[in-house]
Chain A
Amino acid sequence: MRRTFILAGLLLLVLVVPSHSANPGGMGDSSRDFSCGGSCHGDPGLSQSSSAEFQFELDRASAYVGGPISITVSATGMELSPRGLVGLFLLADTHGVADTPEDAGWTILSDGAGGSGNYVENHAFDSTTGVSVTWSLIAPPSEGVYTLYAQAHHGGDGSPRMNLSQAFTIDVGPIPENLPQMIDWEPMTSRGLGETSTMTLPVVNATSVHLEYRIGEGQITSVAVGLENNVWTTELPAALSDIVVHYRIVMTNDEFSETTGWITVGMDEGGYSADLTAVRLQALALMLTSLALCITIQRRMARPAHSKDEPPAALISVDQTDILAASFAPTTLAMDDPRRPFGWSDEQWQHYGAAHIVEHQGGGL
């Protein structure tokens, strides 16, 4: 009967195991392959499909080779966990590995969240509003029709969920002659609080260049970029609080006006850095010290307690009584000293008097 209860209890424990949740706190913005979903969201035994619907939006009809383009991906209608966290991927294919836009030749200038990865996490207020991410890209270096996908990872109803969008194609055409453009540009996407950012812009074929920036979704401010020694250089004003700043570069000449996508500037976190070798040495010090403490207490406690009245062994080994007695002992004793015991001879008092005084009267003259 007891065994039956035990078995029933164990079975009950197995049955009440909650449905799996992958990483409810998210994994952080980064550059990730489609296979990131392989362990949690992609496992059909753990994950369920999402009801997310995707919408793609471009800031221009087509892109030029090496030219800028911004793509906004919106996901709505998905189930949501209490946290409302939704991760959006921008992918070039769905093979599972080497499928980020960079692997297909795209360059991600900005992910709209202060980074340049293809995976961004956002909190959705509700499933109707959903989440939206704008990636600012540089088109691949060769012409063609390129395919992009979006993928959403999120939780909902106690399970990890994922959904993949339909393929979205973008035509990348030849560069028009004399088109203003940026060459091998690595935009600034993060900086410290209160830092003014000086930017060097590798713009070619432009007669004038402007820096446009805005705070959040606020008004756009335009600043002319100066040309000094054939280098376009400008400054983005410092942010005095933790605000979201977006900027873009507008390049013009007589025929064209070309604009990069909006690039989001994030704040550097804390600026903490530590020498890992030093940290390992500190860990070693902690290990050795704690071990030394344990061993010394263990050895101390292993000593036998012979008697409660007996002084500890360590004190016995450094017993200084004789030395103290000698130092306190009088060098000469008066023959008429009142402490001299009755019946002692002079010779006896000279030799043993000092020891007698220490033993019976605490030493000293």
Chain B
Amino acid sequence: MVAAATLHAFSTELLIGSMTFTVTVTLLRLVATFSGLFTDNIRKGLDQAAFFASLFALAAIPLVILTGNFAAENNSTSPMIVNKVLLSGLCLGLWVGVVHGRWTWGPELWSRKGTALFHSAITCAAYGVAAMLGSIGGLLTRGETVGDLLGFWPHFGSAPELGYGLSITLALLSLVTLLIVIFIQPRGEPIEDGSGRIAESLDQ
């Protein structure tokens, strides 16, 4: 029988590996957008590699959260684990945003500097949150983190203490916000590339 902690380590390595790959390739594609580097084939390959790696990471996130939940001891008494749960939600939300952006904008997102920058920014932000999660894991299991090499890296030794009622209110408000965004906010139009070709969009 494999312990939950071992499964958590395994799934975490899958997640961080695929996220690191996604971020690296996304940044390379961003550089191509701004500098004109690389051929069209390489640009297309970078975009698709980032997209499929982000899909793989998205599939790995729930596995990491579940195994981490089973592996944790005394979840409710450790501020660091509470922070880990909170940051897991943020990481998942941002990463779904990354996948949603690429899915709806299509590969032509790289034809506009604004969308290319925003997509790269949320990809990096989600990766930063994942790095914080890994840092907390390192502190819990090994008592130290590579983040210690950075003077500003937070240690998450304290966590917010919100009551049950306020938590339900926040969850409902956020759900209403998301529903408003999905069903009421006007949808964007497909992005056109420089040649006037309309990018495929599944958000219609």
Contact = CB atoms under 8 A, between A and B. Distances in A.
Interface of A: 23-27, 270, 272-304, 313-314
A292 B181 contact: yes
B143 A298 contact: no
Contacts of B178: 288-289, 291-292, 295
A298 B159 CA distance: 31
B111 interface: no
Given A23-B141, A25-B143, A282 B164 contact: no
Interface stretch (B13-21, B27-35, B166-174): B166-174
A96 to B, nearest CB: 14
Given A281-B170, A283-B90, 16 more contacts: A23-B141, A25-B144, A272-B78, A274-B161, A280-B85, A285-B167, A286-B89, A288-B171, A288-B174, A290-B94, A295-B181, A297-B118, A298-B101, A298-B118, A303-B188, A304-B192
Nearest to B175: A288
Contacts of B77: 272-274
Chain B interface main SS type: helix
Q: Which 6 A-B pairs have the closest CB atoms?
A: A25-B143, A302-B188, A294-B97, A283-B89, A290-B93, A287-B93
Nearest to A300: B188
A292 B181 CA distance: 6
Contact of B93 (A26, A279, A294, A303): A294
B144 A24 contact: yes
Contacts of A287: 89-90, 92-93, 96, 174
A36 to B, nearest CB: 11
Nearest to A22: B142
B100 A294 contact: yes
A293 B77 CA distance: 31
Chain A interface main SS type: helix
A138 to B, nearest CB: 26
A131 B29 CA distance: 55
Contacts of A298: 97, 100-101, 104-105, 115, 118, 188
A304 B198 CA distance: 11
Contact of B90 (A290, A304, A313): A290
Contact of A284 (B89, B115, B161, B189): B89
17 contacts: A26-B143, A27-B141, A275-B163, A278-B164, A278-B166, A287-B89, A288-B177, A289-B177, A290-B90, A291-B100, A292-B181, A294-B93, A295-B182, A297-B118, A299-B188, A301-B118, A302-B105
B159 A272 contact: yes
B162 interface: yes
A25 B75 CA distance: 20
B124 to A, nearest CB: 13
B142 A25 contact: yes
A277 B161 CA distance: 12
A320 to B, nearest CB: 18
Contacts of B37: none
A275 B164 contact: yes
A274 B76 contact: yes
A285 B188 contact: no
A9 B18 CA distance: 23
B190 interface: yes
Contacts of B88: 283
Interface string B111-154: 01011001000100000000000000000011110000000000
B171 A276 contact: no
B42 interface: no
Nearest to B199: A302
Contacts of A273: 76-77
B138 to A, nearest CB: 9
Contacts of A292: 174, 177-178, 180-181
A276 B122 contact: no
A26 B138 CA distance: 11
Given A277-B164, A314-B186, A285 B114 contact: no
B97 to A, nearest CB: 3
A276 B162 CA distance: 11
A289 B92 CA distance: 11
Contact of A285 (B94, B170, B182): B170
A349 B90 CA distance: 64
Contact of B170 (A26, A274, A282): A282
Contact of B97 (A281, A282, A290): A290
A115 to B, nearest CB: 13
Nearest to B129: A290
B82 interface: yes
Contacts of A288: 93, 171, 174-175, 177-178
A279 B101 contact: no
